[in-house]
Amino acid sequence: MGRVVVEVMPKPEILDPQGKAVVGALPRLGFTQFTGVRQGKRFELEVDGEVTPEILEQARKAAEEVLSNPVIEDVVAVIDASEGAAAAPAQSAGLA
């Protein structure tokens, strides 16, 4: 079974209210080193069989058209995360 991981983050220029709340809470729990937090989303898309270039391409399309909203979010990674896949990202998308 193959798996593609898609990561989506709020755009840098969009204030991330959730991240802001988290960074405010961290020092209260003793974590004083962290000056900023941004909260995003990770999707795991499963497929029967292996992750082919075509499947990665479809995942990229789904990431751009459904999993993210380009007005407020960027797709920061589309990665073959199948067992045995290279540890390095096979392909990234949406980095432009």
Footprint of another protein on this chain (CB under 8 A)? 10, 13-15, 17-18, 21, 66-67, 69, 71-72
- Is the distance from CB of 56 to CB of 91 less than 8 angstroms? yes
Q: Which is nearer to another protein, 46 or 50 (CB)?
A: 46
Which two three-digit tokens encode residue 31?
């974590």
Q: Closest approach of Cβ 41 to another protein, in Å?
A: 8
Cα Rg for the chain, rounded, in angstroms? 16
d(CA 7, CA 49): 22
Q: Closest approach of Cβ 16 to another protein, in Å?
A: 8
Q: Which is nearer to another protein, 1 or 14 (CB)?
A: 14
